A = this chain, B = another copy of it.
Amino acid sequence: MSALNLRQLDTRSPDFDAEFARLRHWSADTDAAIEQRVADILADVQARGDAAVLEYTARFDGLSADSVAALELTRDELKAAFEAITPAQRDALQAAAARVRSYHERQLAASGQSWSYRDEDGTLLGQKVTPLDRVGIYVPGGKAAYPSSVLMNAIPAHVAGVGEIIMVVPTPKGEKNALVLAAAYVAGVTRAFTIGGAQAVAALAYGTATVPPVDKVTGPGNAYVASAKRRVFGQVGIDMIAGPSEILVLADGSTPADWVAMDLFSQAEHDELAQSILLCPDAGYIAQVRAAIDRLLPTMPREAVIRASLEGRGALIVTRDMDEACAISNRIAPEHLEVSSAEPHRWEPLLKHAGAIFLGAYTSESLGDYCAGPNHVLPTSGTARFSSPLGTYDFQKRSSLIEVSEAGAQVLGVIAAELAYGEGLQGHALAAEYRLKR
């Protein structure tokens, strides 16, 4: 193959801002044809239920069945898959699940507890935090079938106390991925169906005779799944709609160049649209990383995908200093942010927007992807400016609690009535005034 054409930018260049904007540009434009087909599929599943799900499964996945019940994976089948994988795989799945569970238990303890207090009038105020009753987890089939995604979606739901976790996973031509089934067994999935696409999202959102309706649908999927999730939002909750995956590495030159090169590859190998960017004030180090990339790329089984990703969307950026690198990182608000520095805690306070921050040379993104504990479902495309990793909080909801005492009603009633009359809402005012002692 030809030499890799990986762009290099310099923040001191007068063209930097324009080049940087081009680099960051990514269009999430929707396809009108897909939108219409998804709308039709959703309406059909809502109207005809199981029969429609069976037809689409036969048509799109080449999988025929007499009933949706026949497409359900039994607990025994999940267990058998777990027992059929290698002992090393079993150990790895269980170890990863244990760490992910432990982290999310801490998360639940830190931010997912009910609380209340009474004010001086004896009025109780607070918030009750409760798990969702039932959620659906979409797991892609085919080439991007990731057992780690099963763990990362199901475990936070399980830890949050969700009553039922319904997994859907397409199995084109009936071919099942044993690691995905084993992960469902380990992660505490309640029921699982081998259905996928917009029809599976519709079945979860509306329910059918066989598939119970859920309160929220999470998990990644192709353009049909993303469109379907967008459309059922409101009927049910959804997690984010993910864009292409991204890594940003902030390097001070202290990490072996091969390590950083491989970290950039690990993002690029996902797909051609994935984005890998290195920011470093040391041009000499950037040259070392480039040399490592050129040397290592031909050894990678997914060389073609990595090459397309790096040439299409990757960049090595020379910055004036680490402070400027941090500022640029904040403009990007990356999904994955590696601080590959000897002083990661010096820079971390400057980093305001990122899905996950990986500190220090030993913290490769891939350790976080699988087993460090935090979730690997993270905000992409700059949405870390306003959104968060998937977590136990996504599987809980809050209800305000208010118990106004008789004494409190005397104080609050006067305030509420004044404001309600100001808004022209006499019913509100009178409801408050009825509670005043005459």
Contacts and interface: CB of A to CB of B under 8 A. Distances in A.
A69 interface: no
B302 A367 contact: no
B425 A356 contact: no
A124 interface: yes
Nearest to A214: B386
Interface in A182-230: 215-216
A398 B402 contact: no
A235 B256 CA distance: 37
B430 A262 contact: yes
A295 interface: no
Nearest to A413: B367
Interface stretch (A60-68, A74-82, A109-117, A277-285): A109-117
Contacts of A351: 399
Contact of A426 (B146, B301, B404): B301
Interface stretch (A50-58, A164-172, A315-323, A371-379): A371-379
A89 B387 CA distance: 37
A412 B371 contact: yes
Nearest to A102: B119
B427 A306 contact: yes
Contacts of A363: 402-404, 409
Given A110-B113, A402-B358, A408-B362, A416 B371 contact: yes
Contacts of A133: 352, 385
A62 B358 CA distance: 53
A416 B369 contact: yes
B115 A365 contact: no
Range for the number of chain A residues in contact with chain B: 35 or more
Contacts of A429: 366
A423 interface: yes
A92 interface: yes
Contacts of A405: 362
13 contacts: A92-B422, A127-B374, A145-B423, A148-B423, A215-B386, A237-B386, A262-B431, A300-B427, A356-B399, A363-B403, A370-B419, A387-B397, A389-B400
- In the complex, the 9 A-B pairs of residues with the closest C-beta atoms, listed nearest first: A237-B386, A359-B403, A374-B400, A92-B418, A356-B400, A265-B427, A366-B428, A388-B398, A266-B427
Interface of A: 28, 88-89, 91-93, 95-96, 99, 103, 106-107, 110-113, 115, 117, 123-125, 127-128, 130, 132-133, 145-148, 179, 215-216, 234, 236-237, 241, 256, 258-259, 262-263, 265-266, 268-270, 300-302, 306, 344, 348, 351-375, 378-379, 381, 383-389, 391, 393, 397-406, 408-409, 412-416, 418-420, 422-432, 434-435
